[in-house]
Each structure stands twice: as structure tokens, then as C-alpha cells.
Amino acid sequence: MPTQVQITFKLRSLAGRSQATPSTSGPSQPQRISGKNFALFIDNAEVYQNNAVYPSQAAPPTTVQAGSPYTASFVMQNTGNTTWTDGPNNYYRLGSITDKSAFDLDSRAFLTGTVGPGLSGTFTLSGTAPYSGGTYPLQWQMLEEAVHFFGQPTPLFSVTVTPKAYSFYTLTPCRVIDTRNPTGPYGGPSLNPTAPRTFILRGQCGIPTTATSVSVNLTVANPTNTGPLDSLSRKRDDAIELNSELQRGNDSRE
């Protein structure tokens, strides 16, 4: 494990001398560096070491419903001889060592205060459970930013996401996308076969931000060429693909 070393030293001029009087607290042989005469004697050295353990405690929630808020707290004990701070010189944090992207969790959890040797700090992470059911691994470990991860990581927790029972709800008819309108996220330009476009439907036209699927009507007006229109709906890690064959000069609805 990497360590930090702090050294206190003194310099003694060797001008006109080929050797220096040996020090009783350091090396007896001086060194000649870059043509400059001086001796470096180490008076004392103290090793600063980062270390941490995950004390025995209750596990974070291991079952959550799909799309629901998820919060986990971890207590880490400082078993090294450094003091954990969140700046300005050292930044100690709890970092993810597994893929936590499915839960929209940050890759770092931050300190709420200073944690000295022998003391413990609590780190809290909040996110949203994925919309797809399944089992997801989560594991965390202390780190000093730009230096290293260190200490005992948390156990590898398996969080089971339970799918929700979904139902369709009626919304007021609304044209969410019209590429004939001026250029914008939900307007022009017209679709280009070499430049796919992505439209985020959550939060538009009354569609809830927690919606996992929508039922839509697609209309193509006055196409200028013949060919298929592929419409792909993505919801996290699964997809439904819709294909519509278009004929030049005709309208197509799906």
C-alpha cells in the first residue's frame, strides 16, 4: 500500500572540505550533487499511512422496487494515522468500485466533517433504482483523491430490484414531435437517413418522468424517398423496435 513520508532534514555546508563530520542522527557519508557541496542528514522521519475498515453493521437496503428512490449509508472507521478531510489539501471520499450507473448514484460520497484517527465517518448515497428488474452489485472503498484507494472495502452487496406492475393511463392528445416546426429538440430539421435523432419523451406532453413506456402514433407526411423508417424505443437496458415501410409521395401512419 502506498504511503506518504514526511522528512525533517538539515543542510551543512562543505565548502573547501572533501568530507563532513558524521552526524550522530543520520548517514555518515555526505553526497556531492550537481557540483554543489552539501550534506543531507535525516534527523527523523514519520510515515503517514491511510487505512480504513468497514465495521460490522446492518447492510444497506438489498431490495427495492424498480424506479423508486434508493439511499444507502456506510460507516467507515479511520484506522490509519492521517486525518480525513474534504479539502483544501487532501480530499478523502468513499468511492465506488463497481458499476453503480444503473442506480444513478454518484461515483463519490463526501465527508460531512473531519474524521481523525480511530474515529468513524458516515457516507450517504442517494439515487434511483433502475426501471428493469434484476440483481445489481454495489461495493465501495475509501480513497484519497489523486492518490489511491485504500483500506478494507465494504462487502459486495447484491441489491434486488423488483419490477413494478405497470398500467397505461390516458393522456390528453398532444403532438410531442413535429419536424416540420422550426429547428429544436422536438422540431426540425427533417429526419436524415445518415443522422439518427433521439427524442426524450419523459416530461413532455404530460408524460410522467417515471414513465417506462408510451403508446404513440407515428405519421410521416410527404416523404421524399422510398425506404424504411426505424423507430427504436429504449428503456434502460431493453428495447422495442418499430419498423415502417415508406413509399415516396404517400403518407404513412403507424
Predicted confidence (pLDDT) per residue in 32-55, tens digit: 455 555 555 666 666 789 999 998
Predicted confidence (pLDDT) at residue 247 exceeds the cutoff of 60: no
CATH fold of 52-162: Immunoglobulin-like (2.60.40)
In this structure, the number of other CB atoms found within 10 A of the CB of residue 84 comes to: 23
Predicted confidence (pLDDT) at residue 84 exceeds the cutoff of 50: yes
> pLDDT band for position 176 (50/70/90)?
confident
Q: Where are the domains of the chain?
A: 4-48, 52-162, 166-254
Q: Indicate left, alpha or beta for 25 from its phi (over 0: left) and psi (-120 to 50: alpha).
A: alpha
Contact between residue 136 and residue 159 where contact means Cβ atoms under 8 Å apart: yes
Predicted confidence (pLDDT) at residue 235 exceeds the cutoff of 70: no
Per-residue model confidence (pLDDT) at position 10: 52
Per-residue model confidence (pLDDT) at position 245: 41
Predicted confidence (pLDDT) at residue 230 exceeds the cutoff of 70: yes
Predicted confidence (pLDDT) at residue 98 exceeds the cutoff of 50: yes
More confident residue, 131 or 87: 87
Q: Once rounded to an integer, what is the mean pLDDT over residues 116-145? A: 91
Helix (H, G, I), strand (E, B) or coil at 103: helix
Predicted confidence (pLDDT) at residue 82 exceeds the cutoff of 80: yes
> pLDDT band for position 5 (50/70/90)?
low
Query: Could you give the CA distance from residue 72 to residue 29 in angstroms, rounded to a whole number?
Result: 57
More confident residue, 194 or 53: 53
Q: Which residues lie across from 141 on neighbouring strands?
A: 95
> Among 136, 205, 141, 194, which residue's Cα sits nearest to residue 169?
205
> pLDDT band for position 182 (50/70/90)?
very high
In this structure, the number of other CB atoms found within 10 A of the CB of residue 236 comes to: 12
Q: Once rounded to an integer, what is the mean pLDDT over residues 70-87? A: 94
DSSP 192: B
> Among 133, 167, 140, which residue's Cα sits nearest to residue 59?
140
Q: Once rounded to an integer, what is the mean pLDDT over residues 70-90? A: 93
More confident residue, 76 or 204: 76
Is the torsion defined by CA of 62, 63, 64, 66 positive or negative? positive
Q: Mean pLDDT across the chain, nearest whole number?
A: 77
Q: Global pTM?
A: 0.54
Cα of 98 vs its chain's centroid, Å: 10
